[in-house]
């Protein structure tokens, strides 16, 4: 191992520990907050990467491609009040939630995720659908999927670059008639 590799391994362990502590905190928080369904993510690229990642991960894990639903904190400033009225309050959980699984082969993702974060969280939740509540396994799967499908940095690479180009092409075609 080079020292760079060692540093990366230590960093990954710290991040995983922090994540696990966060999960415990969320589970133990009896004073959770309300979340509402959002019709979409804030950023169209987030929708594209989440749906394509869900497709990819489902195939990889041997499960049916899940339905992707979006949510926001019910009192979020990103939310128009009329939407909360329309969709109501969907579920009550600890604050800071970025993703969840639901019965009926559904994954819920936070509507404010960046496209790159959506790859991690969508893969993470698919892993939960495939193999249950093991947080370490889901954490590793999400991070690895992000590395494989997007690359190590914010600059988009890999399969995600193709998906985003295709997604934008579809939008251009749909809007060019107006
Ligand atoms: Zn999880």
What digits encode the pLDDT tens for the residues 57-75? 999 999 999 999 999 998 8
Task: Tell me, in angstroms, the distance from the centre of ligand 1 to residue 115's CA.
Answer: 18
CB 122 within 8 A of CB 66: no
Task: Tell me, in angstroms, the distance from the centre of ligand 1 to residue 116's CA.
Answer: 17
Question: Can you read off the two tokens belonging to residue 172?
Answer: 């251009």
Which run of H or of E encompasses 28?
helix 3-28
Report d(CA 52, CA 29) in Å as an integer. 32
Strand blocks (E) in the chain: 33-38, 67-73, 91-93, 99-102, 106-110
Task: Tell me, in angstroms, the distance from the centre of ligand 1 to residue 125's CA.
Answer: 6
Task: Tell me, in angstroms, the distance from the centre of ligand 1 to residue 63's CA.
Answer: 17
What digits encode the pLDDT tens for the residues 74-131? 888 777 766 666 777 888 888 899 999 999 999 999 999 999 999 999 999 999 999 9
CB 53 within 8 A of CB 123: yes
What digits encode the pLDDT tens for the residues 13-28? 777 766 665 665 555 4
């Amino acid at each position: 191992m080079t020292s760079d590799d060692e540093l990366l391994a230590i960093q990954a362990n710290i991040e995983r520990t922090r994540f696990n502590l966060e999960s415990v905190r969320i589970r133990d928080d009896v004073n959770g907050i309300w979340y509402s369904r959002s019709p979409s993510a804030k950023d169209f690229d987030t929708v594209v990467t989440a749906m394509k990642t869900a497709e990819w991960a489902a195939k990889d894990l041997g499960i049916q491609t899940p339905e992707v639903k979006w949510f926001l904190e019910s009192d979020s400033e990103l939310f128009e009040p009329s939407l909360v009225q329309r969709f109501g309050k969907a579920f009550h959980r600890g604050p800071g939630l970025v993703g969840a699984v639901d019965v009926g082969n559904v994954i819920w993702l936070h509507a404010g995720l960046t496209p790159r974060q959506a790859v991690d969280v969508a893969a993470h939740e698919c892993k939960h659908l495939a193999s249950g509540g093991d947080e370490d396994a889901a954490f590793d799967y999400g991070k690895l999927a992000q590395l494989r499908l997007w690359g190590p940095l914010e600059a988009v690479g890999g399969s995600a670059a193709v998906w985003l180009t295709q997604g934008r092409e579809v939008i251009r075609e749909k809007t060019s008639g107006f």
